Amino acid sequence: MDIPTPDPNSKRIRTREAMIQYQKARQEGKEWNGEVPMGEGPLNRDGMPKTPPGQNVTDRWPVLDLGFQPEIPLENWSLTLSGLLDYPAAFSWEEFNKFPQVEDVSDFHCVTSWSRLDNRWKGVRFSDLADHCRVQKEVRYVYIKAYDGYSTNLPIEEAMKYDVLLVHTWEGMPLSKEHGGPVRMITPQLYAWKGAKWIGEIVFREDDELGFWEQRGYNNNANPWLEERYW
């Protein structure tokens, strides 16, 4: 087998190294004299430029789906948490709404190059749902299934971030069906395809499994500041 030697001076590797150094300095509270990695605008609350590289900011909110928008009456809606959990559960709409309700303002970055900034959301933290069901220590990934047949996957540590929410309200209004109502997930620090609209089930797993777009060429990591768009 011929094993190639990665070029340590390539743009890709250089950029990632700069990002590692930058975030390390930031976490340790050290001063940073190098360039702020990739993107434009003031830094966001996670220390990254507000607009990731290659993104155009829009006030409109485009709709992306697989050509089918499921209609889910609230009395038929449920959210299942399954897999490696001490207490697997299927929450009804009422049970879901008993979890602490969190309001947050965050940005939304689509891999097709548009970003919608400062969206005001209300919903339930992914981590509150997961903690309730007691995630077993073997868990490394979650695989997410939606009511339209869509799926996506992410590392558990990404899903547990403070800003990952299952939202039912946008700008004070119930989340519309076209945008994933009754409930969708949002992943502000990853491209938006990692956030399933019409979310129905979260499977906690030891092994990774590629979701719908990840199988078809979207990058599994999906970090907008590293432009991890496609394979």
List the x/- string, 175-204, binding to ligand MTE by CB under 6 A. ----xx-----------xx-xxxx------
> Binding residue for ligand MTE (CB under 6 A) from 124, 133, 139, 146?
146
Answer yes or no whether residue 122 interacts with ligand MTE by CB under 6 A: no
The site for Mo ion (CB under 5 A) is made up of 64, 110-111, 193
Q: Which of ligand MTE, Mo ion, none sits in contact with 195, Cβ below 5 to 8 A by type?
A: ligand MTE
Task: Number of residues interacting with ligand MTE: please give it, by CB under 6 A.
Answer: 18
Supply the minimum distance, in Å, between the C-beta of residue 64 and Mo ion. 5
Per the CB < 8 A criterion, the answer to whether 120 and 172 are in contact is yes
Which has the closest alpha carbon to 45: 100, 118, 133, 131?
118
Nearer to Mo ion, 10 or 113 (CB): 113
Supply the minimum distance, in Å, between the C-beta of residue 105 and ligand MTE. 16
Answer yes or no whether residue 216 interacts with ligand MTE by CB under 6 A: no
Site for ligand MTE in 64-103 (CB under 6 A): 64-66
> Binding residue for ligand MTE (CB under 6 A) from 7, 20, 21, 62?
62
Residues lying near ligand MTE in the complex (CB under 6 A): 61-66, 110, 146, 148, 150, 179-180, 192-193, 195-198
